[in-house]
Chain A
Amino acid sequence: MAHAYKPYLWIDQYQPSAMFGSVMALSGIDGVELAFHGPSGCYTIAGHIRTDQAPMGTYSAMRPSGITEDNLVMGTSMDKLRQLLKFIKLESEYARRKPKLLAVVNTDSTAITGDDIVGVAKQFEKETGVPSISVDAPGFKGWDITGYDLAYRALLTKFAKPNVAKKPDSVNLIAPYLLSSQNWLFDFEGIKDLLNKLGLSINCVLTRNTKIEEIENFGAAQVNLMLTNEDLPFFTKETEKLGVPSFGADLPLPYGLVNTEEWYAGIAAKFGKLEKAYELLKETSKKVKRVLGFNYSYTWQSNLMMQKRAALIGRAHFVASMARFLYYDLDIYPEIVVLQAATKESVDGATRLLKSMEKDGMTVNIIVNPPYIEFARAIKSADIDFVLGSRIEKTLVEGMGIAHHSIGSSFYFNTFRYIPFPYVGYEGVLYLVQELGLAMEDMFHEREGWKGMKFKNI
């Protein structure tokens, strides 16, 4: 894994940490009990992050050891962790709910003190019979990728059986949250649906409502379908040992028509199902056409959108795919694309996707991991009409008087979207166009004029 380019030694961008990654990944295991070893601030954010796995999710729990300054100074933090594990044991007896997995995770402070999270996990397993792991992924280890990677390795080394019989036409799905769409929960369902329709079965997901037995049978899949182009070196090593090759990282994510066609074709070709994929797309196109055809609202919106200049900011694979969607499907010019990525592999992959538009007439200004101030100055000087990004930079962009619409991460919380419909696939275009409609409202509506010149005698 090579680190992605960063312009300065310091950063100012939304960058989920390794701890975020480990907690998110482990919270996707059915029946897991997380022992969170760290202070309150870290626990609070971990609690928020993992709520992403909760809607339509299976049971998981997390408890904190509650480290204080005194524990760190006096060297008593391990005692706190031991007490926590005893409590977890007690509570599982009390509630008659035995964890299916105990996972100990740590934070900066408890990693610096070198607390033995490996040892306590082993001890817990010995005493209770509950399979136990530890993931040493404190925030300072870097991006979320590190946390995901270490968690996947821990899960595979613990559970995945070697030499299991292969299931024909089956795939493992890797890192659904790294789709990095704010709608990822439903996008993931949409992806599973697209694969199922193609006749592929889902063998194991790392991780989303994942049962331990599914990890045990990880090796049964023919391939891993990567839902991210970030590099996961530890995972790659483990899956190679298990004889499951990975693919898909170089494909665009299936947002929009052209991307869906390329993504579907790539997968279908792998399984000799190109013809079926074609038929499925053909069939779905009729549904989309039925909704948008003779639909004057869409005709109007389409003309509002055409030839607008957009900027996109977000996770590299996602925004590169979205930029292609804007250009190919909507005739919007994605002039600036900010790629946020942990690894060089992700930046390179996203750049390739964007560069592929050059032969079709669109040259994008690609900026990698810039601080927010440089992003702001770039969109200001480029006279961007609207920005697609996440809720994180919304106040910055709208504060500059530029329309902004959130479609990307960070995470599901506070997106206020509940209709279980994906952005992905042909049909997902309907939802994306609806999202763009909201962006157009923001861009075209002259609210200040309404306020400034309102009828005086209301």
Chain B
Amino acid sequence: MSKKLLPWEKIDRTKEGWEIAKDLLIMRKEKKFELVSFKDIIEKTEDTSATDWWDKVIPGYGSGLWCPIYYAITVSAGVRNSVLVIHGAQSCVTATRHFFVLYVGGGGNYYWGNPFTFVVSTDLDERDNILGAPEKLRKALIEADKIHKPEIIFVAPTCGPGMIGEPIEEVIEDVKPELEHAQEVVYLDMPGFKAIDEGDMMRLAATGYWTKLMQEPKKKIPGAVNVIGDYRGTYWEERDGVKANFPTTYDEINSILKALGLKLHVIVPQSSLEDIRRAPEAEFNIVNCPMLAYPICEEMKQRFGIPYSPHVYPLGREGITNYIMAFAKHFGKEKEAQKLIDERWDSMGIEPLWQEAKKLVKDKTVFMDSAISMTSVNRQLGYARMLQELGVDPKKIIFFNIGPSEILGRREGVEYYLTTSAAGKPFNPMFLWWPAPYAIKLSPIEVADWLGVKDEEILHLYGDLGWYTKAPRWDASNISQVQSSIHFRRHRNVCQRSILFSGTKALLRDIILAIKGSRRKGKWTLYSRILGDWQVPELVPPTEREREF
């Protein structure tokens, strides 16, 4: 492959965007794809947030990509007893309420249990958006403080005030002395046009804001560990008294820490202001979502000297061991940790499932699909790493439909994975590369045919929504399919992020059932018949069918 992977290496960049789009359609038709490794992508792809990249992307990026203001609202929404004041048109708040907050994460969330979010909009009209309306922000802040009585207020601008350079920080500083209830007012400078890649949005939401709220610890709490970087299900039963339908990730982490004589201290960023202030009392930080966590961890390391472990997505015995041993080592509890890992692996009945799954995936080619960008590359890498540990040939782990910009946007997480290994081999899965942007997704059928892989050899982790589950060929009855999004992957007694011991066990069970289930050929699911062709099989009277047994 060439040194650089930007589209203009493969296409005539002097052309206009629409002509490039035409070339891409032709490339797709002619299947001009190639397989590269993740390392290649990281090392050889230029900065995808560059103007040049996006200027040539026609039609523009879209499906499944969000907006920085969504992240501003979502990440800060779960901070307890907070109120958000969005300076701008109300439409952005309603947009966020409509989908993102309810189903993806943040406050008032259906699937993650976070409390309802009060989001005040200054409701700027056309004139305000052009000429500015700092007085409206000022009044909204004072009234929201008086009426809601919040502990903390977050302020964020939408595109309009962001574009005209509204003096938001000045207004906040000016109004602060007048507030009776809010102890802090945080300005999140994240208007909608500020970033394109989700990874960049998360980095924006994580960097600089949270450690500012923290205070120098009066004391260190021995054995205290923070978990950094999450906006979903940020509570645990023992402390909050909330028994979730699906235990939170923190319920499982808490049980592990307790077993080692350690203590789960604070979840950052979504805790109460008081807890965020106390976070530096911890001795060690561990990570949940790398994009939200790494900036905060780095800042806490620099400001408070708190070390952290970069490990994420603990799935599989190696993944779990690395994750737990990182903090166990810090506290000199390696032996206890090893014992705990062995005991849980055994007592939860994971080993027999592991062995069964190992046999079933042996010759599989794994399709790591990302039908929409919500399927975070870092989560997918976590699944892939476990599959490598299970014995899948690393050359047969194929990622596709993840835009190079998405990978680069989440660079820190990807770089972490590339430092790890599984089953004694460096972890560096394959990536089906071609210069199309987000807008053009490949169907797994195209990928399978291009690779020359037979249907029965495929294990398809299909990301967020199985858009391409289409009868007659692509269906759970014919292809081994495993859901790999975060919010759909819920199971009883499995922690919400589907990681650690419970997540590993659930994933193994899903893999086994998916592979076995793909033998029921000709019995298409409703979903695939709805999305694809509605196949009506040859009708066999029940009596004859029974005789076949």
A: residues with CB less than 8 A from B are 6, 8-12, 14-20, 39-45, 47-49, 63-72, 74, 76, 80, 83-84, 86-87, 89-91, 94, 107-109, 111-112, 138-142, 371-374, 391-396, 399, 410-411, 413-414, 451
Q: Tell me if B534 is interfacial: C-beta within 8 Å of chain A.
A: no
B160 touches A40 (CB 8 A): no
Most chain B beta carbons < 10 A, residue from A41, A71, A84, A394? A41
Neighbour of B136 across the interface among A10, A16, A140, A396, CB < 8 A: A10
Question: Which of chain B's residues have a CB closer than 8 A to the CB of A112?
Answer: 129-130, 159-160, 163-164
Additional 4 contacts, C-beta under 8 A, given A16-B94, A17-B91: A39-B159, A44-B65, A90-B22, A140-B128
Question: Which of chain B's residues have a CB closer than 8 A to the CB of A90?
Answer: 18, 21-22
Neighbour of B119 across the interface among A12, A71, A94, A410, CB < 8 A: A12
Report the bound CA distance from A12 to B119 in whole Å: 6
Contact with A along B7-20 (1 / 0, CB 8 A): 00000000011100
Question: Which of chain B's residues have a CB closer than 8 A to the CB of A84?
Answer: 18, 58-60
Residues 145 to 169 of chain B near chain A (Cβ within 8 Å): 147-148, 158-160, 163-164
Given A17-B91, A83-B18, A395-B115, A40 and B125 contact (CB-CB distance below 8 Å) = no
B120 touches A11 (CB 8 A): yes
B: residues with CB less than 8 A from A are 16-18, 21-22, 25, 51, 54-55, 57-70, 85, 88-95, 97-99, 102-103, 108-110, 115-116, 118-126, 128-130, 136, 139-140, 143-144, 147-148, 158-160, 163-164, 192-194, 196, 243
Neighbour of A411 across the interface among B66, B98, B144, B192, CB < 8 A: B98
13 contacts between A and B (CB under 8 A): A9-B140, A10-B136, A10-B144, A19-B91, A44-B95, A63-B59, A87-B17, A87-B21, A89-B18, A138-B126, A140-B160, A373-B147, A414-B102
B60 touches A44 (CB 8 A): no
Question: Which of chain B's residues have a CB closer than 8 A to the CB of A6?
Answer: 123
A68 touches B51 (CB 8 A): yes
A44 touches B91 (CB 8 A): no
B102 touches A392 (CB 8 A): yes
Report the bound CA distance from A74 to B163 in whole Å: 12
A83 touches B16 (CB 8 A): yes
Most chain B beta carbons < 10 A, residue from A10, A43, A395? A10
Most chain A beta carbons < 10 A, residue from B22, B64, B91, B139? B91
B136 touches A66 (CB 8 A): no
Question: Which of chain B's residues have a CB closer than 8 A to the CB of A8?
Answer: 140, 143
Neighbour of B62 across the interface among A43, A49, A80, A111, CB < 8 A: A43
Given A10-B144, A12-B118, A109-B159, A391 and B67 contact (CB-CB distance below 8 Å) = no
Report the bound CA distance from A40 to B128 in whole Å: 23
Given A11-B120, A87-B17, A112-B163, A66 and B54 contact (CB-CB distance below 8 Å) = yes
A66 touches B194 (CB 8 A): no
Given A41-B67, A42-B192, A391-B102, A396 and B95 contact (CB-CB distance below 8 Å) = no
Report the bound CA distance from A87 to B51 in whole Å: 20
Question: Which of chain B's residues have a CB closer than 8 A to the CB of A20?
Answer: 91, 94
Report the bound CA distance from A9 to B69 in whole Å: 21
Report the bound CA distance from A8 to B120 in whole Å: 10
Neighbour of A39 across the interface among B57, B67, B94, B125, CB < 8 A: B67
Question: Which of chain A's residues have a CB closer than 8 A to the CB of B196?
Answer: 40, 68
B22 touches A108 (CB 8 A): no
Q: Across the two chains, which residue of chain B brings its CB closest to A12?
A: B120
Neighbour of B59 across the interface among A66, A70, A139, A399, CB < 8 A: A66
CB distance from B444 to the nearest CB of A (A): 22
A86 touches B63 (CB 8 A): no
Q: Across the two chains, which residue of chain B brings its CB closest to A374?
A: B147
B25 touches A44 (CB 8 A): no
Q: Across the two chains, which residue of chain B brings its CB closest to A89?
A: B18
Question: Which of chain B's residues have a CB closer than 8 A to the CB of A12?
Answer: 93, 118-121
Report the bound CA distance from A42 to B61 in whole Å: 11
Q: Across the two chains, which residue of chain A brings its CB closest to B63?
A: A47
B160 touches A108 (CB 8 A): yes
Given A9-B123, A45-B99, A90-B21, A70 and B51 contact (CB-CB distance below 8 Å) = yes
Question: Which of chain B's residues have a CB closer than 8 A to the CB of A76?
Answer: 55
A44 touches B67 (CB 8 A): yes
A66 touches B60 (CB 8 A): yes
Question: Which of chain A's residues have a CB closer than 8 A to the CB of B140?
Answer: 8-10
Given A41-B68, A83-B58, A69 and B160 contact (CB-CB distance below 8 Å) = no
Given A43-B60, A72-B193, A391-B102, A140 and B139 contact (CB-CB distance below 8 Å) = no
B95 touches A45 (CB 8 A): yes
Given A18-B91, A108-B91, A87 and B58 contact (CB-CB distance below 8 Å) = yes
B63 touches A10 (CB 8 A): no
Report the bound CA distance from A114 to B94 in whole Å: 24
Question: Which of chain A's residues have a CB closer than 8 A to the CB of B51?
Answer: 68, 70, 74
Neighbour of A41 across the interface among B95, B115, B128, CB < 8 A: B95
A64 touches B62 (CB 8 A): yes
Question: Which of chain A's residues have a CB closer than 8 A to the CB of B115?
Answer: 395, 399
CB distance from A328 to the nearest CB of B (A): 32
Report the bound CA distance from A39 to B160 in whole Å: 12
Report the bound CA distance from A447 to B246 in whole Å: 16
Report the bound CA distance from A395 to B148 in whole Å: 17
CB distance from B518 to the nearest CB of A (A): 27
Question: Which of chain B's residues have a CB closer than 8 A to the CB of A86?
Answer: 16-18, 58
CB distance from A429 to the nearest CB of B (A): 29
Question: Which of chain A's residues have a CB closer than 8 A to the CB of B57?
Answer: 66
Report the bound CA distance from A57 to B196 in whole Å: 31
Report the bound CA distance from A68 to B53 in whole Å: 11
Q: Across the two chains, which residue of chain A brings its CB closest to B122?
A: A10
Question: Which of chain A's residues have a CB closer than 8 A to the CB of B18?
Answer: 83-84, 86-87, 89-90
Q: Across the two chains, which residue of chain B brings its CB closest to A141?
A: B126
Question: Which of chain A's residues have a CB closer than 8 A to the CB of B66?
Answer: 40-41, 44
A65 touches B21 (CB 8 A): no
Report the bound CA distance from A109 to B164 in whole Å: 10
Report the bound CA distance from A6 to B95 in whole Å: 20
Question: Which of chain A's residues have a CB closer than 8 A to the CB of B68?
Answer: 41
Question: Which of chain B's residues have a CB closer than 8 A to the CB of A91?
Answer: 25
CB distance from B311 to the nearest CB of A (A): 31
Most chain B beta carbons < 10 A, residue from A8, A12, A66, A94? A12
Given A86-B16, A86-B18, A140-B129, A40 and B60 contact (CB-CB distance below 8 Å) = yes
Question: Which of chain A's residues have a CB closer than 8 A to the CB of B90?
Answer: 11, 15, 17, 139
Q: Across the two chains, which residue of chain A brings its CB closest to B135?
A: A9
Question: Which of chain B's residues have a CB closer than 8 A to the CB of A83?
Answer: 16-18, 58
Question: Which of chain A's residues have a CB closer than 8 A to the CB of B95?
Answer: 17, 41-42, 44-45, 139
Given A10-B122, A39-B67, A411-B98, A372 and B25 contact (CB-CB distance below 8 Å) = no
Q: Across the two chains, which residue of chain A brings its CB closest to B59?
A: A63
Q: Across the two chains, which residue of chain B brings its CB closest to A65?
A: B60
CB distance from B94 to the nearest CB of A (A): 5
Report the bound CA distance from A394 to B85 in whole Å: 21
Question: Which of chain B's residues have a CB closer than 8 A to the CB of A414?
Answer: 102-103
CB distance from A220 to the nearest CB of B (A): 36
Question: Which of chain B's residues have a CB closer than 8 A to the CB of A372?
Answer: 116, 118
CB distance from B32 to the nearest CB of A (A): 17
B122 touches A40 (CB 8 A): no
B94 touches A14 (CB 8 A): yes
Question: Which of chain B's residues have a CB closer than 8 A to the CB of A67?
Answer: 60, 193
Question: Which of chain A's residues have a CB closer than 8 A to the CB of B22?
Answer: 90, 94
Report the bound CA distance from A24 to B93 in whole Å: 18
A10 touches B62 (CB 8 A): no
Report the bound CA distance from A18 to B68 in whole Å: 21
Report the bound CA distance from A45 to B122 in whole Å: 20
CB distance from B8 to the nearest CB of A (A): 15
Report the bound CA distance from A65 to B159 in whole Å: 16
Most chain A beta carbons < 10 A, residue from B60, B119, B160? B60
Question: Which of chain B's residues have a CB closer than 8 A to the CB of A109?
Answer: 159-160, 163, 192-193
Given A9-B136, A39-B193, A41-B192, A395 and B60 contact (CB-CB distance below 8 Å) = no
CB distance from B242 to the nearest CB of A (A): 11
